[in-house]
Structure formats: C-alpha cells, structure tokens
Structure 1
C-alpha cells in the first residue's frame, strides 16, 4: 500500500512567476516526471533550517507520483457508523524517508495487507 503524505521536499529555486498564483520551480533531474509549475497553495515560504531539508535522492518518486511508506505501528482503534454500517478503524503510523504520519485506516484492509501489525494482541478486534 502506498500513501502520499503532506510533506514538502526542497527547497527549490523559483525560476519565474507563471501567473499571479503559479510559479515555475527549478526541479532536479530526478523529479523530471513532475510538471515544473506549481500553484501557490502547493508552496510554502521557506526559512532556512538544515533539519527541514529532505534529500531528494532519498525520495524515490514513482511514475504515478507516489512514494512508498510502510506501516510502523497501530496507535488506536475506533468504530464509526456510516450509512447504517459499523466500520472498525485503526490509527496507523506510517513511516518513510519523510518521517512519520498517522492516518485512520479500515481495520479489515490493514489486517489483510499487514497481519503482522496485529500480532501484539492489543488490536485484535
């Protein structure tokens, strides 16, 4: 299973404004499959801090513009009523080169894909 996480990579130099709300960015060759013009909502103002930079050669972006993350652990469990059905959810912490992020996932799908996460007995449900 692959996830996109709302993390930034860079910083990259702005080459020129494309319009009032878009900028062309100088991307490295490893990101040549991306369009180089980005809307301002996808950019952030960068204040230099070496700990913020993710080396772009560590992030392997695939043709479908995703990168792989793996589930590290399950932090929580809950049930949700949706259209008359009860759905069991688990809060999964995903990890990769960009750090950790947590997302609620359908428990049965996670159990099928990653049964080892449920071996501890804490989240057997």
Structure 2
C-alpha cells in the first residue's frame, strides 16, 4: 500500500513529487521559466506546468539536486 498524505482534518494532500521537465515561455516582453511537476494524486500520476519561481518558493526541496548551470 502506498503512503497517503493527510492533513489534520484527514483530507488527502496533493504534494509535488518531482520536476519532470523545464521550459521557458516566451511572451511579448518577457520570458517566464516554467517546470512540469509530477504530483502525488489520489487519481494516480498527475502532471501540470507551473511557474518555476512559485514552485521553488513553496517546495524548495524539489530543486536541491539541480546543478547551478540548469537554474
């Protein structure tokens, strides 16, 4: 049986598991780094594209094994 993540009210908590891919989204006047995140989900593996700065701020441990050149 897989480990389940529950909050204090016994609700399932989705947490990111790993960074799967990286891209830079080009807008008219700016470039936004994004990452593809694999989440633990009660529905099975789930992937979303998220802003790198927001994910790094909330889940810094996902970036602990990345070399400085790839940041």
- Written as runs of structure 1 = structure 2, the 5 A alignment for 1:33-112 is 60=11, 68-112=13-57
TM-score (structure 2 length as normaliser): 0.74
Query: What residue in structure 1 maps to residue 3 of structure 2?
Result: none
Query: What residue in structure 1 maps to residue 64 of structure 2?
Result: 119
Greater RCO structure (CA 8 Å; 6+ sep) = 2
Q: Could you list the runs of 5+ residues in structure 2 that have no partner in the other structure?
A: 1-9
**RMSD over aligned Cα atoms:** 2.1
Moved over 6 A (4+): none
TM-score (structure 1 length as normaliser): 0.44
Q: Could you list the runs of 5+ residues in structure 1 that have no partner in the other structure?
A: 1-58, 61-66
